[in-house]
Amino acid sequence: MTYTCVIIDDEKLARELIEAHLSQLDDFEIVASCGSAIEASKILQEKQIDVLFLDIEMPVLKGTDFFKNLVHKPKVIFTTAYRDYAVEGFELNAVDYIIKPITFQRFFNAIEKFRTLQRGTLANMPIIQEKKEDFIFIRKDRKQVKVLLDTILYIESLKDYIKIHLAEEQHVTKSSISAFEEKLDARFVRIHRSYIINKDKITAYTKNDVEIGKIEIPIGDNYRENLADL
């Protein structure tokens, strides 16, 4: 399957970088690369687009304001040099929010989130959420146990199982950590092949580990960029 996309950014070099990243993927077709939201609006009216790569801070019309006013909204991945609009991006149910300069690894992570949504694995459930009352059910001792996401400190991989660490207890359930990661929202970030943390629970960090209370959790070399994006 091929996904159609439009790139919107007032900086030519930024557009060219995204084009270069997309050229390494076989399942994406660039319908247009536009220097402004105004330029892109006519294209979006005439063609069905699967995903926008949308800058935010642009002359005349901000990317977030442009997206809010679209009648038929494609999926959107915000690409910006500014962290200040992250909450606004989350509220628009963005697939991802990437801070420039955009490395291919970070870009590919966003693409994988988009592909997962398109496959319907997370049907009707946005990847990025800020609702603190969210919960999930996990299987434990032949029961489905309700766990509030906001009570989770971190998740630890135990081969074919995961251990969910809460403040007062732990739950062990059968799942890969990657499969469980797909059920989580923007509060959670993978910092190691064996650990996902709730970023709201971080009390301190260094370049090598994150502290949640008295617990020290290592940061894997391949996941430092995920933490840096926060």
**pLDDT tens across 143-166, in order?**
898 999 989 999 999 988 999 999
For residues 101 and 96, what is the distance between their CA atoms, to the nearest angstrom?
15
Kindly state the average pLDDT of the residues 49-59: 93
For residues 28 and 36, what is the distance between their CA atoms, to the nearest angstrom?
21
In a domain, 44, yes or no: yes
For residue 102, give the CATH number of its domain.
3.40.50.2300
Count up the domains in the chain and report the number. Answer: 2
Q: Are residues 112 and 8 in the same domain?
A: yes
Using one digit for the tens of pLDDT, what is the confidence trace for 96-109?
999 998 999 999 99
- Of 99, 187, 95, 203, give the one whose Cα is nearest residue 150: 187
Q: Are residues 7 and 114 in the same domain?
A: yes
For residues 217 and 174, what is the distance between their CA atoms, to the nearest angstrom?
22
How confident is residue 224, by pLDDT bands cut at 50, 70 and 90?
confident
Give residue 102's domain range: 3-118
In a domain, 214, yes or no: yes
Residue 67 has what pLDDT?
93
Q: Are residues 111 and 50 in the same domain?
A: yes
Q: Are residues 110 and 148 in the same domain?
A: no
Residue 142 has what pLDDT?
80
Residue 117, SS3 per DSSP:
helix
The percentage of residues in the chain with a pLDDT greater than 70, rounded to a whole number, is: 91
- Of 129, 135, 168, 128, give the one whose Cα is nearest residue 150: 135
In a domain, 124, yes or no: no
Packing angle, helices 104-118 and 12-22, rounded to 10: 60
How confident is residue 128, by pLDDT bands cut at 50, 70 and 90?
very low
Q: How many residues are listed for the chain in this entry? A: 230
Looking at every residue in the chain, the average pLDDT score rounds to 87
For the whole prediction, is pTM greater than 0.75?
Answer: no
pLDDT at 192 over 70: yes
- Of 118, 119, 173, give the one whose Cα is nearest residue 146: 173
**Torsional class of 142: left (φ above 0), alpha (ψ -120 to 50), beta (otherwise):** left
Q: Are residues 8 and 92 in the same domain?
A: yes
Residue 171 has what pLDDT?
94
Q: Which secondary structure element, helix H or strand E, spans residue 104, and what is its range?
A: helix 104-118
The residue out of 89, 118, 147 marking a domain boundary is 118
Residue 143 has what pLDDT?
85
In a domain, 123, yes or no: no
Residue 71 has what pLDDT?
86
Q: Which secondary structure element, helix H or strand E, spans residue 105, and what is its range?
A: helix 104-118
